[in-house]
């Protein structure tokens, strides 16, 4: 049955079931490696974000990719924990940088414990990730351990560069961006660590250090762009309870989303001047009067169908991701011993694009 | 000639000469590895702190230890660059956490470019350190590369835990600390990454992955405590131009220095109540009126000889460090081919304790 023919509800149930199972495995293993002896405000807080309700998408993707390509997902557990640790480390630092108040439905570490503590906890979380990478040497052998180090270094580099791009656009008040700029930033900031890195890690564990770990890159890149666009849309139209973060926070922060780029491309010169003026000020400089500006921006985005066109772009990317994963799976050799886990993992990967955009993170 | 008998000026000249030469080598090599292609506000800013005037103590210690124990200091250059990168990554994050304005005589990255950019640049600096650790595999072989990874992980863990301790004392307004608490924090926060880690790295490169890399630990630990005490003293009595940082910043931040612990132990109950009340407020809560409190604290520290007793403690630690390095060097096997570099490196290590406290960082 192709992804398109599979009823959405059934596929979603499968995706949710696999996510829940992998999340349980990953979080249990992750928490087992948090040091018990800790100075106050360090390791015990590194356990906070991972234990909050979330889908565990990245680690599940690592485990499912390993299984779908004939590997033993148990061997991918340590890499999956690593993926999750670096993800949480990024979130903690991100929340400091954005001055965010909410994460996964509760106060951010920086809002609750201050920047000083949160910065340390983010670094401690990354350090725990490094420790897991070192543990690979004994669990998976030196060759594969080095490859996973290389993948992690590349992922961190891409993520940092993507974030630097986004920050630079806000700082330098870039207002002439085109969608291709946004997509380039997405690939680096979101796709790499959310999709490419987990897929590459899973492939490496399944097939060994010398495999072509890049053959799911296009799948990951399409999916990541769809995922980020959907996240940007939810940021505008979601409710705080569903989304777990401040609503329209992206507008308050001046983030260069596809929706904002569409608005800047489509609005009248007078409207554009107002948008540019709004964007030229920091959140602090705008003061409380900015609430009216944000309402006006939302209204103009509605008038120019910015949400609809972003959703259309996401739908196109989902279709492209489905084509990619179908092709790569079809080209993979049949498993020597077909297992139920491998079959389910393949279904999971095929259903994931639709799920990601239909359900959000 | 023993360290004690050597005239201070002559020894200082030797230390300064070796520092300057190693700094030149290390910074040149470090800057060579900063990626040229960079999104704005990322790698080019990672080159900022390392290129500012500084002594380059940590990398010089790594290179000199390697040479003093019969190794080829050229092979220790990559580890020395790694030491320097992680040091600078810490400084950038530290300056965010402390809200510091000045570093090495110029505005901090966070003061000049904001927390958002500085946090990223700190992470990018750490990532460049990780890349150097990976490069060891080809330069020094897999076994030694893994050992240096282990040492780096341990060093990062110690530093983070030490910093967490210090932060927790301020947050929880710890006022019943004794000097032993301070020394424990020093070992973790300062000694490990400034002295133990560079010495251990240098020994490993000189003698191979299976050597006893811990035999300079006591030297590093005494020296680190002396160094931190001297830094705390300079923070109080230095001038901004000499020190490169805000004067009495530690008092503004409520840092638990040996001087403050001595004051709390020695002052009258009424004075103690005022100190505790001052410490219970954050810098923001204290407002501009705090300048008078800071002046009063300085006056009380003078009245109770807190600077003198801290300096005495530092002098005792310097003597202990000199004993340690003399013994460890005496126990080391004579080099197969005695070289001028090895002899000079040994002189450098012997003279370093006195220099560290006489000259500051």
Q: Nearest CA to A56 among A103, A30, A21, A19?
A: A19
B80 close to B22: Cβ distance less than 8 angstroms: yes
Give residue A146's Cα distance to chain centre: 24
A160 touches chain B (CB under 8 A): yes
pLDDT in tens, B317-346: 999 999 999 999 999 987 777 799 999 999
The predicted pLDDT at position A243 comes to 58
**Chain A nearest C-alpha distance from B174 (Å):** 12
Using pLDDT thresholds of 50, 70 and 90, give the confidence band for residue B1.
very low
Q: What is the pLDDT along chain A (361 residues), one digit of tens a residue?
A: 455 555 667 777 999 999 999 999 999 999 999 999 888 999 999 999 999 999 999 999 999 999 999 999 999 999 999 999 999 999 999 999 988 899 999 999 999 999 999 999 999 999 999 999 999 999 999 999 999 999 999 999 999 999 999 999 999 999 999 999 999 999 999 999 999 999 999 999 999 999 999 999 999 999 999 999 999 999 888 765 665 666 788 898 899 999 999 999 999 999 999 999 999 998 888 888 888 999 999 999 999 999 999 999 999 999 999 999 999 999 998 777 779 999 999 999 999 999 988 864 4
Mean pLDDT, all residues of chain B: 93
Using pLDDT thresholds of 50, 70 and 90, give the confidence band for residue B6.
low
Beta carbons of A41 and B93 less than 8 Å apart: no
pLDDT in tens, B12-24: 799 999 999 999 9
The predicted pLDDT at position A54 comes to 92
Residues of B in contact with A143 (CB under 8 A): none
**Which residue, chain included where needed, has tokens 């060891």?**
B136
CB atoms within 10 A of CB B288: 6
A280 touches chain B (CB under 8 A): no
> Cβ neighbours of residue A360 under 8 Å, at least 6 residues apart?
A230, A231, A234, A238, A242, A243
Residue among A96, A123, A163 whose CB faces B115 most closely: A96
Residue among A123, A161, A163 whose CB faces B93 most closely: A123
Residues of A in contact with B171 (CB under 8 A): 40-41, 114, 117
The predicted pLDDT at position B8 comes to 64
DSSP A126-140: HHHHHHHHHHHHHHH
The predicted pLDDT at position A336 comes to 72
A278 touches chain B (CB under 8 A): no
pLDDT in tens, B111-135: 999 999 999 999 999 999 999 999 9
Beta carbons of A41 and B120 less than 8 Å apart: no
Q: What is the dihedral of CA A24, A29, A32, A33, to 10 degrees?
A: -140
Question: What is the number of CB-based contacts under 8 A between chain A and chain B?
Answer: 109
Q: Which 3-state string (H, E, C) describes chain A?
A: CCCCCCCHHHHHHHHHHHHHHHHHHHHHHHHHCCCCCCCCCCHHHHCHHHHCCCCCHHHHHHHHHHHHCCCCHHHHHHHHHHHHHHHHHHHHHHHHHHCCCEECCEECHHHHHHHHHHHHHHHHHHHHHHHHHHHHHHHHCHHHHHHHHHHHHHHHHHHHHHHHHHHHHHHCCCCCCCHHHHHHHHHHHHHHHHHHHHHHHHHHHHHCCCCCCCCCHHHHHHHHHHHHHHHHHHHHHCCHHHHCCCCCHHHHHCCCCHHHHHHHHHCCHHHHHHHHHHHHCCHHHHCCCHHHHHHHHHHHHHHCCHHHHHHHHHHHHHHHHHHHHHHHHHHCCCCCCCCHHHHHHHHHHHHHHHHHHHHCC
Residues of B in contact with A137 (CB under 8 A): 146
The predicted pLDDT at position A245 comes to 61
Sign of CA dihedral B46, B49, B54, B59: negative
The predicted pLDDT at position A37 comes to 85
Beta carbons of A96 and B117 less than 8 Å apart: no
pLDDT in tens, B162-218: 999 999 999 999 999 999 999 999 999 999 999 999 999 999 999 999 999 999 999
For residue A102, the 8-state DSSP code is E
Beta carbons of A160 and B127 less than 8 Å apart: yes
Helix, strand, coil % over all residues of chain A, rounded to 5? 75, 0, 20
Residue among B114, B127, B165 whose CB faces A157 most closely: B127
Q: Which two tokens stand for residue A82?
A: 């690593």
A358 touches chain B (CB under 8 A): no
A181 touches chain B (CB under 8 A): no
Beta carbons of A40 and B130 less than 8 Å apart: no
Beta carbons of B41 and A171 less than 8 Å apart: yes
**Chain A nearest C-alpha distance from B184 (Å):** 12
User: Residue B291 above 70 pLDDT?
Assistant: yes
DSSP A26-49: HHHHHHHTS-SS--TTSHHHHTHH
Q: Which two tokens stand for residue A93?
A: 């630092």
The predicted pLDDT at position A361 comes to 41
CA-based nearest residue in chain B for residue A282: B114
The predicted pLDDT at position B361 comes to 41
Q: Which two tokens stand for residue B212?
A: 């006893």
């Amino acid at each position: 049955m192709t992804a398109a023919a599979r009823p959405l509800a059934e596929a979603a149930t499968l995706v949710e079931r696999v996510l829940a199972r992998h999340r349980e495995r990953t979080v249990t293993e992750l928490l087992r490696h948090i040091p018990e002896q800790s100075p106050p405000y360090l390791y015990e807080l590194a356990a906070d974000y991972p234990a909050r309700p979330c889908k565990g998408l990245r680690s599940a993707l690592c485990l499912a990719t390993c299984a779908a390509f004939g590997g033993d997902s148990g061997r991918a557990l340590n890499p999956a924990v690593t993926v999750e640790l670096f993800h949480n480390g990024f979130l903690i630092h991100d929340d400091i940088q954005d001055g965010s108040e909410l994460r996964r439905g509760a106060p951010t570490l920086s809002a609750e414990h201050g920047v000083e503590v949160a910065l340390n906890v983010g670094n401690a979380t990354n350090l725990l990730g490094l420790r897991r990478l070192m543990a690979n040497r004994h669990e998976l052998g030196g060759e594969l351990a080095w490859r996973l180090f290389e993948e992690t270094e590349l992922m961190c580099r891409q993520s940092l560069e993507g974030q630097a791009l986004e920050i630079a656009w806000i700082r330098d008040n870039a207002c002439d961006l085109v969608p291709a700029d946004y997509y380039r930033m997405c690939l680096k900031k979101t796709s790499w660590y959310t999709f490419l890195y987990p897929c590459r890690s899973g492939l490496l564990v399944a097939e060994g250090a010398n495999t072509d770990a890049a053959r799911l890159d296009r799948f990951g890149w399409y999916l990541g762009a769809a995922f980020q666009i959907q996240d940007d849309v939810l940021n505008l139209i979601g409710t705080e309870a569903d989304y777990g973060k401040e609503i329209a926070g992206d507008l308050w922060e001046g983030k260069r989303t596809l929706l904002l780029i569409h608005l800047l491309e489509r609005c009248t010169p007078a409207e554009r001047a107002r948008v540019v003026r709004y964007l030229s000020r920091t959140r602090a400089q705008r003061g409380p009067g900015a609430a009216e500006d944000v309402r006006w921006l939302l209204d103009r985005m509605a008038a120019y169908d910015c949400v609809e066109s972003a959703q259309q772009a996401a739908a196109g990317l989902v279709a492209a991701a489905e084509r990619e994963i179908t092709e790569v799976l079809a080209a993979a050799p049949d498993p020597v011993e077909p297992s139920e886990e491998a079959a389910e993992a393949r279904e999971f990967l095929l259903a994931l694009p639709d799920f990601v955009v239909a359900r959000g993170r």
